[in-house]
Amino acid sequence: MNSLRARFAALLVLAIVSVVALATFAASRALQPPPPEATMEPLARQLAMLAAMARTDRTSAEAAGLSIRTSPAQGRPEERMTGALAHALRHIGLPQAVFVSRSRDTPVLTASVDLGTGEWLVTDIPDMRPPPGVWTILAGWVLLIVTGSAAVSIFAASKITRPLKMLENAASRIGPDGVLAPIPEVGSGDVRATAHALNQLSSRLKSAMESRMRLVAAAGHDLRTPMTRMRLRAEFVTDDEERERWLADLQELDTIADSAIRLVREEIGTDESETVRLDRLVHEMAGELRGHGHKVEIGELVPLSVRARPVALTRALRNLVINAATHGGGAAVSLTRQGTSAALTIVDEGPGIPEELLEQVFEPFFRVDAARRKTMPGAGLGLAIAREIIERFGGQITLANRKPNGVIQTVKLAIIVDEGN
């Protein structure tokens, strides 16, 4: 009942059933038979005439089909009808004894009128009750209404919410680059209009993304020329300490430009993915980083395969491990299986990250401690590039503090082939 379509359908069903229920109630009230008190007086006059005929001309009465007995008719007493008929007889001035009963064999009402001679006039009288099985008929009527209204309501709700369903499906198909997949512009007018609007939005969004990427890439490339000139000029600075500071600043600028260009390349990269043995990739990468002086330990590596571009995935994982080794005093890497996902865990023993900043560390150029910018290497794009690559391959990356200290980086990717079995 949480979906909009289900709510629309329930509302329509309730509205239809309520209207039909009110109409049925009004019809039943209008068409129901009158109460016995309103029909008894005419019946009493007829019975009085028949009783008078039976007393004065018995032969003619019996020839007309009247039954004259020595006792009233047998059957189940109908006290309400008996009382109403007796009251009606008294009202017309004939206070005769009367008895109304219902036959055990047939659902027929029988009136027995005392003739005052020790005999009773027995005759059938109209039954004003609804026909037998009326509740079964009513239940079937209500069931038919509910079933029909539910079918109509579900169909109508589907038509009403179709554009919203299209929006939901389009949002679920947003690619890693943030662009909507093209939607066929077919169907009714409102559906076509919705599809056209979404396709226009996708086209504009794609153009804006490409423009932004070209701008960042151009800026990164254009920085190279002035930085080269500045580096050449710095070589002529006579003060060794001042020269080193200039060269260090230029190196940092060069690193930032390089990282920005790599980030752009990852966002607009269209290389085909392939099956990658993640455990082997992690083992080779860890060995390479140890060779460069990074403190990297390897834990359990379960043989698992994922779908990715090897070079890009290696770059992403290298950034994460270097981040842990640089800021956390070393990295411990392990690979396990969690359901249908390969879970790569990178643990360090650093000071941790404030909880309110855990998500911000993935933002480009973000530093947890801006005061340490000069003392720590890097441009602040490593984690941003890593997340861009991981999410492009359908995975996710999370950071969490561990007790008593340190950070846990977890990367999850869908398993394609489990070669360990």
Higher pLDDT, 250 or 418: 250
The owner of tokens 């009288």 is: 125
Please report which confidence band the pLDDT of residue 265 belongs to, taking 50, 70 and 90 as the band edges. low
Angle CA 318–256–251, to nearest 5: 100
**Residue 398 exposure: Cα atoms within 13 Å on the Cβ side:** 8
Q: What is the CA radius of gyration of the chain?
A: 46
**Does the pLDDT of residue 54 top 80, yes or no?**
yes
> 355, 270, 356, 281: which is closest to 320 by C-alpha?
281
Domain segments of the chain as ranges:
4-32+132-160, 36-125, 176-270, 274-417
Average pLDDT over residues 392-418: 86
pTM score: 0.48
Angle CA 310–412–266, to nearest 5: 40
Q: Chain-wide mean pLDDT for the chain?
A: 77
Check if CATH label 1.10.10 holds for domain 176-270.
no
Check if CATH label 3.40.50.150 holds for domain 274-417.
no
Q: What are φ and ψ of residue 229, in 5° steps?
A: -65, -40
> 190, 202, 66: which is closest to 124 by C-alpha?
66
Average pLDDT over residues 294-317: 89
Please report which confidence band the pLDDT of residue 382 belongs to, taking 50, 70 and 90 as the band edges. confident
> 143, 115, 140: which is closest to 49 by C-alpha?
115
Indicate the length of the chain as a whole number: 421
Strand-pairing partners, residue 297, are 332
Highest-pLDDT range among 127-131, 249-253, 312-316: 312-316
